[in-house]
Amino acid sequence: MRTKIWSLAHVATLVLLFAFVLGLALARSTPENVAAQEPAPKQEGIAYVSWWFDQYASSGSDQSLAKLEDTGAEWISILATWYQDTVTSTEIYSHAQKTPTDAGLIHAIQTAHNLGLKVMLKPHLDLLNDPTHWRGQIGDYFTTQAEWDAWFASYQKFINHYAQIAKDNNVEQFCIGTELDGTAVQELGWRELISGTNGIKSIYTGTLVYAANHTYTNTVMFWDALDYIGIDAYYVLAPTTTATLADFKKGWEKPITFLEDLSREWNKPIIFTEIGYRSIDGAGMAPWAYEGNPPLDMQEQADLYQAFFESVYPKDWFAGVFWWSWDTNPMQGGPCDDGYTPLDKPAEDVLRQFFGGAPKTKGGGLNPRPDTTRVANIYLDEALEHAPDWSWGWWNGVWHGGTITFNATDEVYAGTSSLRADLKGQDWDALQIGRWGTPLNTASYYGLEFYIKQQNLRHGLQFIFDGGNVVDYCRYSVGQENGWYHVRIPFTEAGWINKDVTNFAIQTKGNDTTFWLDNVRILGIQPVELSDGYAQSAKVGQTVTYTHALKNFHTDTAKFELTADSSRHWPLQLLVGDPGTVYNGPIELGAGMTTTVQIVLTVPLTETVGVTDTTTLVANGVDTIVMYSDYLEDVTTVIPTTHYIFLPLVMRNF
């Protein structure tokens, strides 16, 4: 046997090759290493906001958060605002009526966590008595170091207060400041605020971000002390009101270039700590402009959402987004709202698509039928209603100098006159209607019904229910005739369930406005409703399916019994729910809930072409003092069966 002697160079080469192969094998076989190389999921968030002390703790807020979570969002930012008097002030303080209470804020954090949402706490600083300046100018007028020292000391107390709340309540992310452009140049002050002896990091050890304004041009020099670069991204994306989706996507090209360079320079991912658009014509021209009343444009808001998701969201340097905004009123949004919320607008459909939420559940188009045995009139013609003996009645008032005319004849829906209100928008004026004497409890009623005509619909009106919710009447319109909207606001949505009626108000949204009311009443309704029947055609031996909706308009859970009959006694099966199961006795529905009812009908082989069958579906309320029911009819027409004759194909040579 011969022995081969290896040189030292050969040995070294083999060792290195073995180590390389072993390293590859270990990297491929270790799940932890693979996971570590995967990018973190993007933060899919919505900004949850309130500027009032008690709203976060309300039941309406809990409902609103549940609606937010249903969009597919996985994060929220929660706003809490303190104030300083003017742009030159150095004292920062909470406001008893405007700043959310700590208890309310903690309630919102815990409610969000219970829904499976992650939270970024985002304290804001605003100017209370300085309408000609904004927070981005704080510091621009400081002339001495003493002023800077006083301001940073006051800001440290403010921000540490919320850092402690974030720590105590397991908040996942903390925003240390928002759009404070004039102070951001004070790099040493901010570094001390973040990492000093009594800095934020001495209290809160989670993820940190600062929210720079979109006009930021690299004045923040402390990004390395944070985990993310934050941008409130209200970039101008188009110069005209006629811009298209393609225009908005092109408008992102310049901001994207700047943001890519910024991320690369600091080696930090970027989060849009705010981005949002109103549902108005020209929303892409000045996205930060929350005032003014241009025409409604729901599609432009949706296009701007789409442009962001297709242009910015896929970038590898982009780490998350918080859409502005969603507030504590569960009845926000809707077809006449010109604000930032996407709720019940086409923009919500875009949001759900990219956040992975289920498609928006539609109500089935069911409108309740009035129960004329349960009606309480408020205004019919020329006057508010009252009892003959004056033991009860309705009163009215205005808040800030508007005028009321009870027998207006310039616009009338029915009868000889209507109620006209001329309100002063500058003071957020309102028409108020209340009940005196014997109270009227809402337990036996469905909601408030009225006809309304508004001089300028886009200026909007809010209905404020005492002790209940604020709603936009437009979302509850059930019909329109000659400019008059027929409206029914359910007490379940107004927050007036089983309450004694005290008062409600109709308020402007900050603009002078004129509107007319007619046939105002509190209405009872038939509490069971089926969607309409329809017609289909079928061949002999074929099975057809009719799909309907059944809704419970009771204010409590109710049971319903279903029966279906074919006029020609065709075989049928009744299915309930989605997916459908065979009906087997009364079904139970919660208040306001809807279920699917399907009739599966088979045309007998012996049936005659041209005949029609009428199938009747009846839904009866069970265990009610008064028997309520609804029915529908489906019509099936038998059509001829198509016969095909196959002839032999003869091939010939020519």
The answer to whether 235 and 214 are in contact (CB under 8 A) is yes
Longest dimension (CA), the chain: 128
Residue 8 has pLDDT above 60, yes or no: no
Global pTM value: 0.73
Higher pLDDT, 215 or 156: 156
The whole-angstrom separation of Cα 256 and Cα 530 is: 51
Highest mean pLDDT: which range of 53-67, 208-222, 261-275, 627-641: 261-275
Between 493 and 16, whose confidence is greater? 493
Q: With 80 as the cut, is the pLDDT of residue 426 above it?
A: no
The pLDDT tens digits of the residues spanning 342-360 come to 999 999 999 999 999 998 7
Q: Which are the contacts of 386, defined by CB distance < 8 A and separation ≥ 6?
A: 392, 393, 394
In terms of DSSP bridges, do strands 503-508 and 528-530 run parallel, antiparallel, or are they unpaired? unpaired
Task: Determine the pLDDT at residue 33.
Answer: 37
Q: Which two tokens stand for residue 54?
A: 């008690």
Lowest mean pLDDT among 212-216, 452-456, 531-535, 562-566: 452-456
Give the C-alpha separation, 337 to 348, whole Å: 13
Judged against a pLDDT cut of 80, whether residue 27 lies above it is answered with no
Q: Topology of domain 43-355, per CATH? A: TIM Barrel (3.20.20)
Both tokens of 310, joined, read 């297709």
Proportion of the chain above pLDDT 90, given as a percent: 70
Average pLDDT over residues 6-17: 41
The single residue listed with the structure tokens 């958060």 is: 65
pLDDT for position 32:
37
Distance CA 490, CA 488 (A): 6
Q: Quote the pLDDT of residue 462.
A: 86
Q: How confident is the model at residue 100 (pLDDT cuts 50, 70, 90)?
A: very high
State mean pLDDT over 190-218. 94
Q: Indicate whether 510 pLDDT > 60.
A: yes
Q: Is the pLDDT of residue 645 over 90?
A: no
* Domain assignments of the chain as residue spans, ordered by start: 43-355, 369-526, 528-638
Q: DSSP label at 93?
A: B
What is the number of H-type helices and E-type strands within the chain?
12, 30
Residue 653 pLDDT greater than 80, yes or no: no
The pLDDT tens digits of the residues spanning 394-415 come to 999 999 889 999 999 999 999 9
Please state, for a pLDDT cut of 70, what percent of the chain lies above it.
89
Pairing of strands 558-566, 543-552: unpaired
Tokens of 172: 């996942």
Distance CA 235, CA 338 (A): 19
What is the pLDDT at residue 580? 87
Q: What single DSSP character describes residue 7? A: P
Band (pLDDT 50/70/90 cuts) for residue 625 is: low
Determine the pLDDT at residue 109: 98
Query: Under DSSP, is residue 590 helix (H, G, I), strand (E, B) or coil?
Result: coil
Question: Given a cut of 50, is residue 363 above it in pLDDT?
Answer: no
Query: For the domain 528-638, what is the CATH superfamily, name and number?
Result: Immunoglobulins (2.60.40.10)
What gap in Å lies between CA 92 and CA 28, rounded to an integer? Answer: 55
Is residue 549 pLDDT above 80, yes or no? yes
Secondary structure element (H or E) that encloses residue 13, with its range: helix 8-29
For the chain, the average pLDDT equals 89
Q: What is the DSSP letter of 640?
A: P
Chain segment 281-307, per-residue pLDDT in tens: 999 999 999 988 788 899 999 999 999
**Domain 369-526 belongs to what architecture?**
Sandwich (2.60)
* Residue with more model confidence, 348 or 425: 348
pLDDT at res. 12: 43
CA pair distance 586, 653, nearest whole angstrom = 73
